[in-house]
Chains A and B, each alone.
Chain A
Amino acid sequence: MNDSLVNPQSRISRLAFFHIDTPLLLGLLALIGYGLVVLYSASGQSERMVEGQLVRLGIAFAVMIGFAQINPQTIRRWSLPLFLVGTALLICVLLFGHIGKGAQRWLDLGFMKFQPSEIMKLAVPMAIAWFIASHNLPPRLHHLLIGFIMCAIPTLLIAKQPDLGTALLISTAGIFVLFMAGMSWKLIGFIIALISAFAPVLWTFFMHDYQRRRVLTFLNPESDPLGSGYHIIQSKIAIGSGGVDGKGWLQGTQSQLEFLPERHTDFIFSVLSEEFGLIGVLVLLVIYLFIIGRGLLIAARAQDNYSKLVAGSFTLTFFVYVFVNIGMVSGLLPVVGVPLPLVSYGGTSMVTMMAAFGIIMSVSTHKRSLAKT
C-alpha cells in the first residue's frame, strides 16, 4: 500500500481497471468499517439502523464507482450545465420548496424529496474550476472576481433557505478552488479582513435567531445547561469521560443512556470518544489524515489544472467537514449541523461525498488515457 501511495501508477491492479484508486479505497473502507462499529453502539445497538446505513453506503459506493468511470474531461464539460441546473433548482426550492424544521431545503419530486444544495456542493467547485482552468494560472483579478460571484450566488440562495452551514461549506469549496489556483496571499489577507468586517453585518441582518443562539451558546454553553447548551455540555462530558482508553464498546454511559443528543448523527464523534477514548480518536484522525493526504497527492499528480483544482477542493472540503464536526462536538466551534463524514448516520450528504471521491478517483486513474490523447 505504501508503494502505491508513493506511486499510484507503479502497477496496474484489477482495481485500477475499474478506475478505483486502491489506497483511497482502503482508506475509505477503513473509515466506513470503523464508522459502522461506532454506529452500532451509537444507534443503541439497532441492527436496523446499521442495515440502513449499509444500504446507503452501498448506494454511495455505487455512485462513487460510477463517477470514477467517467473521464475527467467529460466531467469538466458537464461542470457548467450542472452548475446552472443546480442554481435553477435552488431558486425553485425558494419558490416551491418543502418546509421542514423552520428551513426550506427540500424539493418534493413526488417520488422522493431532494436537496438541490447537495448538487451544488459538487457543482460550485467544479464550475469555478472549469472557469479558472480555462485561463492561465494564477488567475487574474477579474477572473477571481467572476469566480467569487459564481461562488456567491448559490451561497446566498442556500443561506436564504436558511441553511447557513451548507452555504458556508459550499462557499468554502469554491474559495478552495481559487486558493489552490494560486490566488495571491495579499488578496487572501484582504478577504479575511473583509469577512471579519462583514461578520457583524451578517450577525445583524442575515442570521436567524436560532443561529445566533447557537453562536451564543457556543461562546458560553454552561449559561443554558438545560436549553441550547445541553447538547454541547453533554457532548463534552461524553468526550472527557472517555479518558485515554475509553469506557469500552457499547459501554459509554453518556451515549447508551441517551444523555448525548443526536448521538448517531451529528454527535457520533462523541460516542466514539467516550467508548474508545483518546486512542480511538487518534486512530480516526489517522484514517482521515491518510484520506486527505491521498486526495491532495492525487490532486498534485493530476495532469490538467481542472482535475487538480477539483480534486484539491473536494479533498479540502472533506477536511472542513471533519474539522467542523469534531470542532463543534468538542466545543471548539459553534454547533452547526455538519455530519462526521462517512461515519454519521445519514443519507444525502454521504452520497454527495462519495460522488466527490468518485471524481477524485477518476482524476487518479484516467491520466494514462489522457496522456495517450
Chain B
Amino acid sequence: MLKKRVAMQDVAAETRLFNHRALFAMVFVVLMFGVIIANMYHLQVTSYQVYQTRSEGNRIKVVPLAPNRGLITDRNGILLADNRPVFSLELVPEQIDDMAATLSELAELIEISEEQQSNFLKEVRQQRRFNSIAIKEQLNDEEVAIVSVNLHRFPGVTVEARLSRHYPFGNLFTHALGYIGRINTTELARLEESEQLANYAATRDIGKIGLERYYEAELHGTMGYQEVEVNNRGRLIRVLRSVPAHSGKNIRLNLDVGLQLTAQQVLLEKRGAIVAMDPRDGAVLAFYSNPSYDPNLFVHGISSTNYNALLNSPDRPLINRVTQGIYPPASTIKPHLALLGLETNTITPSTRIWDPGFFQLPGVEHRYRDWKRWGHGWVDVYTAIVESCDTFFYDMGVKLGIDRISDYMQSMGFGEKSGIDILEESNTNMPSRGWKRARHNQPWYHGDTVAVSIGQGYWTVTPLQLLVSTAVLLNNGMQPTPHIAKELTDDLGTDSVSTSLKSSTPVVNPRNWQVIRDAMLQTVNTQKGTAFNAFRGANYTSAGKTGTAQVVSIAQDAKYDANALDERLRDNAMYIGYAPADSPTIVIAVTVENTGGGGSTAAPIARQMLDYYFSAGVNNDE
C-alpha cells in the first residue's frame, strides 16, 4: 500500500519535473537557434560585402587575350613580316579513355617521336586533366590534312591554330627587321620597369633585335581580356565579358624589296654591306648586310646546333654590317676632308701641290706613300678627289691638324650614332688628342694625323655613318636621321616617321660645297676618275667616291700583293655615291670586305643598285 501511495505522489511530481525539464529544453533550443540566427546575421548581413567579394573572386577569372602583332611591309605594301597560323596537335587527357591506344594510333597517322610522346606524358602528369596539351607543334600541311580527316575517330584530340610570326623573305631583311622570340627574364624586368608587363600577360614573344625591337611598343598592340566564370578546378564555364585586343600598328618601311634583292644578288658570297637612302629625308631605301640568316629560325626557338653554327661562322652572319661593321673609311672621306680644307682656307679650289708619290713630314725620313708609286704630278683639289691622291691629303691633313679634323668630322656624323631606328649600332671612333690620351695614354703625333688624312689609322666608321656624312655633303650641312620605317598605321590613322633634318655642319661658303660635289661628279664621269669604268654608259648622272681600305699595314717599301695575303687580310672595297648628280634622290654606301679596290669591286655594285633604282622607279612617288 505504502509503495503504491508513494508512487501515486510521484506521478504528479514526476510530471511537473518532466514538464519543467521539457520547458527548459525548449527555451534552450530557442536560445541556441538565436545563436545560429545571430551568426547568420553576422555572416549574411554584417559581413555580406566581404563574402560577396570573395565569392566573386572565386568564380571570376580574367583571361588575357593577346593582340595581333602589327604587320611590316616594304614601301610598296609587300609583306615582310606577318602572322601565320601554326598548327599543333593537342590532346585533352580528360576526354581520352585510353591514352596509350590513342597515342599509338596517332603515331600511325603522322610521325610522333618517342621523345615527343614522353614529353607529352610528362606534361599530362603536371597539368590539369582538362587542359589541352600539345604533343606535336608546327604540323606541316600534309600532317594537318591527315589528322583533320581522322579527327572523328579521336575524341579529345584537336588541331589547334596559333598565330606565329613569319618572315616570308627569309634572310633578305633580317638585319633590318630583326626577329621576335620568347620573352626572357631581362626583357621581363624591362617590361616591368616600363609598366608594360600587364599588357604582355598573354604575349609569349617580344622583338629581340632590329625594327621588331625598336618598334616593339607600336607593333605589340593592346591586350584584351575576357572575364570568365570558372569552377573550382579552373575550368571555363562561360564568358561574362569580353574586351577585344587591339592589334599593333602596321609598319610600312622605306625599304624596297627589289632593291634588297638586287643587293643580295650583287653581293652573292661576298661579305659586306649595302645601304642606301633618300638624302632629302633620311628614308632608308636599301639595308642589306651579307651574309645574312633566316630569322624564322629564331621565332620558334633556335636549336643550339643552328645557333652555334651562326655564332661561330667565320663570316659572322649575326653581325649587322650596316650599323655594326667597323671599318676604316679610307679614301671615301676625302671629299669631306677637302671640304674642311676649303672652308678653313687651308686650300683653295686652285691650290696645287707636287706629288712625287710620297709625303714626308718635315725633318722625318719616313715616307708616307701614295697608292700610285710614281705619283700624280701636279694635283689640285679636283684631281686629288677624282684620282684619289693620297699625298695631297697627307699634306692638307697635317696643315689642318687633328683638332679641326676631329671636330668637323664629328659634326658630319662620324664617331656618332646615326639615330637610325634599330638599336644595334656600334660605337665608332673619330680620334682626337683627348681620345688618344684617354685611350692609349699617349700624345697625338703628326704621323697619326697623316694616317687619319686618308681615312686610316685610328679612324673607324660604319657604312651607315659614311652614308649619313655623304648626305650632309649633299644637303649643305643639313643631316638627315636615317629611318627604315616610313609610317605606322592603325585604325585611328597613319603616323609618318619624322623626316626633319638637323643642322649639323656649319657652312662658311656654299660654293666650297659645290666644288666638292663637282669633284665627286668628275670621279664618276671623267676618264681618270676612279669610278669611271664602273658607271660608263649609265643613263643617269651620278657622283661618288671610291675607297680601298688597308686591313693590315704594309711594311715600308713593300708592295701590296693581294694574292700573297690571306683572304681575310686583303683590302676592303668601299664606295659612296649619289644620283641624280644635280638633285640627288638616292645616296648609297657600299662596303665589301677583303675584295680589293673600291673602284673595281664596290663601285660596280653601287652601279647595279642605282641601275635598278632608276629602272624600277623605286622612289618615284616622292
A residues adjacent to B (C-beta < 8 A): 136-138, 179-182, 234, 236-244, 253-254, 257-259, 273, 277-278, 281-282, 285, 288-289, 292-293, 296, 299-300, 305, 308, 312, 316, 319, 323, 326-327, 330-332
Contacts and interface: CB of A to CB of B under 8 A. Distances in A.
Interface string B195-233: 000000000000000000000000000000000011111
B26 A278 contact: no
B43 to A, nearest CB: 4
CB-CB nearest 10 A-B residue pairs: A240-B51, A241-B55, A257-B231, A137-B14, A240-B43, A258-B232, A241-B51, A182-B17, A253-B59, A278-B44
Interface stretch (B30-38, B382-390, B469-477): B30-38
A308 B37 CA distance: 29
A289 B58 CA distance: 34
Nearest to A292: B29
Contact of B51 (A239, A278, A293, A316): A239
B40 interface: yes
B44 A239 contact: yes
Nearest to A247: B55
Given A180-B22, A299-B18, A316-B29, 5 more contacts: A179-B21, A239-B43, A257-B59, A292-B29, A300-B18
A278 B233 CA distance: 28
Contact of A138 (B17, B35, B36, B39): B17
Contacts of A239: 40, 43-44, 51
A278 B45 contact: yes
B17 A137 contact: yes
Contacts of B40: 239, 273, 278, 281, 330
B436 interface: no
A332 B39 contact: yes
B500 interface: no
Contacts of B14: 136-138, 182, 305
A182 B217 CA distance: 83
Contacts of B6: 136
B47 to A, nearest CB: 5
A259 B30 CA distance: 32
A237 B51 contact: yes
Interface of B: 6-7, 10, 13-14, 17-19, 21-22, 25-26, 29-30, 32-33, 35-37, 39-41, 43-45, 47-48, 50-52, 54-56, 58-59, 229-233, 237
A327 B43 CA distance: 12
Contacts of A240: 43-44, 47-48, 50-52, 54-55
9 contacts: A136-B14, A240-B51, A258-B232, A258-B233, A259-B58, A278-B40, A312-B18, A323-B33, A330-B39
A327 B38 CA distance: 11
Nearest to A176: B25
A237 B29 CA distance: 26
Contacts of A278: 40-41, 44-45
Q: Which of B39, B52, B58, B229 has the most CB of A within 10 A?
A: B58
Contact of A257 (B21, B43, B54, B232): B232
A257 B237 contact: yes
Contact of A253 (B18, B25, B45, B55): B55
Nearest to B24: A179
A190 B40 CA distance: 33
A259 B61 CA distance: 14
B70 to A, nearest CB: 38
Nearest to A138: B17
Given A289-B30, A308-B18, A257 B230 contact: yes
A133 to B, nearest CB: 10
Contacts of A181: 18
Contact of A254 (B19, B21, B39, B58): B58
